[in-house]
Amino acid sequence: PEVLRKKVWGICKMSKEVAQDDPRRVIHSLKVGLAISLVSLFYYYQPLYENFGLSAMWAVMTVVVVFEYTVGATLGKGLNRTMATLAAGALGVGAHYLASLSGETGEPILIGFFVFVQAAIASFIRFFPKVKTRYDYGILVFILTFSLISVSGFRDDEVLEMAHKRLSTIFIGGSACVMISIFVCPVWAGEEFHYSIAEKLEILGDFLEAFVDEYFTTSKEGDSKDNKSFLEGHKSILNSKSSEEALANFARWEPGHGKFKFRHPWSQYLKIGALSRQCAYRMEALKELLNSNTQGSPEIHCTIQELCSEMSLESSKALKKLVVSIRTMTMASSADIHIANSKAALKSLKSLLQSNLWKETDLFSLVQPVTVASLLIDIVECTEEIADS
Amino acid sequence: PEVLRKKVWGICKMSKEVAQDDPRRVIHSLKVGLAISLVSLFYYYQPLYENFGLSAMWAVMTVVVVFEYTVGATLGKGLNRTMATLAAGALGVGAHYLASLSGETGEPILIGFFVFVQAAIASFIRFFPKVKTRYDYGILVFILTFSLISVSGFRDDEVLEMAHKRLSTIFIGGSACVMISIFVCPVWAGEEFHYSIAEKLEILGDFLEAFVDEYFTTSKEGDSKDNKSFLEGHKSILNSKSSEEALANFARWEPGHGKFKFRHPWSQYLKIGALSRQCAYRMEALKELLNSNTQGSPEIHCTIQELCSEMSLESSKALKKLVVSIRTMTMASSADIHIANSKAALKSLKSLLQSNLWKETDLFSLVQPVTVASLLIDIVECTEEIADS
């Protein structure tokens, strides 16, 4: 009992964490419950029930399977499912008709053959990378519907009616999902994506600031703890590719909402994401330098300190301006100044290095310019993108 | 028609590419076709059909949904589905019984309430990170089954029979999938994972070799094309985290096969994967240095050339020995020599740098040690892991 109580307590704590992490998760769970009970009760109270018969459960099934966290994912799955059912239904009825022409003995063979060919081709198509990202679920439903119609139509010869029933129930279930996910506290994938990109740039900016602090201040006291967390922040960016791609993919399905139009340039966001990953890789390398305790002699340190920290801080400022301008979706003219400043600092640092001071510290000073240069490319691209949105 | 023909041609070319990329994909597609036709025909020829009624389609559905590319994924989904159906079936019947006790008016309310609570809680649990990776699909099926049993049991009062039917059909469909995926040209996730890790280490080794070539040879002729491709190779490692985790996850479901036992230490593989990503980040930074055209003066270049290239080449050799030993699953004692060699080179390089030569090139020489040092950590961990397997 003691062990059990501890376990229960652990689960409670975990659920609290999950809920606090993003309160919308609780709302999402309630929404799912709402959608399913609504559809269930709809079938209970409607006199239509007798009409739909067992197909009613298709509606419930659709709700369970289609309802996703973001609006885009729900819409994408719903549309995929509807389209695939439509297409597979038509083809399945056709295949069934063809097979029934061939008489008693030929029928099972032909149907088996059709199902085999269809399943094999569709499974193969799922491997196409483009199809995989957007229509994977649709093809799964296609195989399913086609097989079901062929096999059960076989028995009942009520194929057309069955197809019609399935379509209408799926439509009811799907539209219930879409309605609820859009009108009850919607979570837009596009918005998520937009803010996650802004957050990433902010993390990069924080990193640069913290880096300057850490590298150029000799006093390492209590406040370095704070910096440490900033210095670790970029880790989350390193592996963000797949989640970003998923979000962009969902966002493409979404209709216009809030400040976003239907064909918002999501691919631009992906580009920024890729560039911020590039920056994060550089930062990983910079951080490694912090850890390696081969630090230069203090006087040389001082020589380049000013320029390096100016470069970093200006870049950081530019990034933060960009964050603001992404969040408010305005043109970022104010960032340009900071970019120009940091570019100027980069130039003078380069000339300083080429002149005479070929000392130990240029290790750092040369890695830093590389980072900053790539950051600058990033920033230039960002401004381009913001001009788009 | 011209446009159409071009499109068809394009699709044909793409399918050929996809097929050549990995011929097992074609086999997989045929396996799916086989599984579905088998199950369909089973229901056609069996006198059992009448007995199972419409539930027969559950078997088809299970096959379509459960059949995945690797054995591990299929097994995982199959087990998830069976367990979830069992649990939800039991709970659903219980809920139905409870509700029926409360009389005509209370019944729909209670059932609606149960469905709502169940769906909300289960959806919430899906957000738990641990549950998400392994049991996501099971919980989906749980919601589905519970709702279906509550709703349709409502009408027919044949709940128990329906639950029994569903379970047996799902079991038939699931076992057909598992059988076919295991016995007909199986694709083991564990094996895939094993070889992908070996391949990654090989890529890292190639990179180090190519890097030495590129950086220290002044003649940049035709053969540098070849190096370029090696230098790009590590890009594929940078974003490999999610696919690796998925493979490890599938591999955990697999029974012992070939050289792998049931509880093979897959988490060790994940560690190697993470370390090779760390290396790839460093390499990204190194490559950036190649591109920046601020190269040092030739004579200093020469001074450190020998030690640096020895370091890189020895690390590369050690990595390649490790690749061989991972592939053959033996202890990698031969790699230790190379590790020792490169460590020695690293040491002498460090002392060389600390003595007098604080010249421009130590930029490179210090970044390189860092990289190599991290590579060495990697390698040490690798040998540990190989001792395990």
Kindly report, residue by residue over A228-269, the tens digit of the pLDDT. 666 666 667 777 777 777 777 777 777 766 666 666 667 777
> Which 8-state DSSP code applies to residue A198?
H
Per-residue pLDDT at A89 exceeds 70: yes
- Prediction pTM value: 0.72
Per-residue pLDDT averaged across A149-168, rounded? 66
Q: Could you read off the pLDDT of A9-56 as tens digits, one per residue?
A: 887 887 777 777 777 778 878 888 888 777 777 766 655 545 555 666
Rg, C-alpha atoms of chain A:
29
Task: State how far the alpha carbon of B293 is from the alpha carbons of A308, B85, B285, B297, in Å.
Answer: 20, 63, 14, 12
Give the pLDDT confidence score for residue B336 in this predicted structure.
Answer: 62
Q: How confident is the model at residue A219 (pLDDT cuts 50, 70, 90)?
A: very low
Indicate if the pLDDT at residue A300 is higher than 60. no
Helix (H, G, I), strand (E, B) or coil at B260: strand
For chain B, how big is the Rg over CA atoms in Å?
29
What pLDDT is stored for residue B306 in this prediction? 66
CA distances from A218 to A207, A227, B79, B120 (A): 18, 14, 58, 54
Cβ(B229)–Cβ(B209) below 8 Å: no
pLDDT for position A354: 52
3-state secondary structure of A85: helix
In the numeric block, which tokens belong to residue A204? Answer: 């990069």
Is residue A5 over pLDDT 80? yes
Question: Two tokens at A148?
Answer: 């079901």
CB atoms within 10 A of CB B19: 15
pLDDT at residue B156 greater than cutoff 60? no
Confidence label for A192 from pLDDT (cuts 50, 70 and 90): confident
pLDDT > 70? residue A315: no
- Please list, residue by residue across A160-193, b when 16 or more beta carbons sit within 10 angstroms of its beta carbon and e when fewer do: eebbebbbbbbbbbbebbbebbbeeebbbbbbbb
Alpha carbon distances (Å) from A320 to A270, A370, B3, B22, B52: 19, 20, 48, 45, 64
pLDDT at B297 over 60: no
Q: How far is B76 from chain A (nearest CA, A)?
A: 18
Cβ-defined contact of A367 to B367 (cutoff 8 Å): yes
A30 contacts on B by Cβ (under 8 Å)? 120
The band of A335, judged by pLDDT with boundaries at 50, 70 and 90, is: low
Chain B residues close to A354, C-beta within 8 Å: 294
According to DSSP, residue A186 is labeled -
Which of the four pLDDT bands, split at 50, 70 and 90, describes residue B364? very low
Residue B40 pLDDT > 50 = yes
What is the C-alpha end-to-end distance of chain A, expressed in Å?
59
User: What does the angle CA B198 – CA B14 – CA A266 come to, to the nearest 5 degrees?
Assistant: 85
N-to-C CA span, chain B:
59
DSSP label at B276? Answer: H
**Per the CB < 8 Å rule, is A116 touching B37?**
yes
Inter-residue contact A35 to A68 (CB < 8 Å)? no
Mean pLDDT of B96-103: 76
Please tell me whether residue A257 adopts helix, strand or coil conformation: strand
For residue B303, the distance in angstroms to the closest alpha carbon of chain A comes to: 16
Least confident of A83-87, A111-115, A189-193, B135-139: A189-193
- Is the reported ipTM for this assembly greater than 0.90? no
A358 pLDDT band (50/70/90 cuts)?
A: very low
pLDDT of residue B18: 73
State the DSSP code for B292. Answer: S
CB neighbours of residue B172 within 10 Å: 21
Partnered with residue A257 across adjacent β-strands are A260
Q: How far is B330 from chain A (nearest CA, A)?
A: 32
Minimum Cα–Cα distance from B114: chain A residue: A37
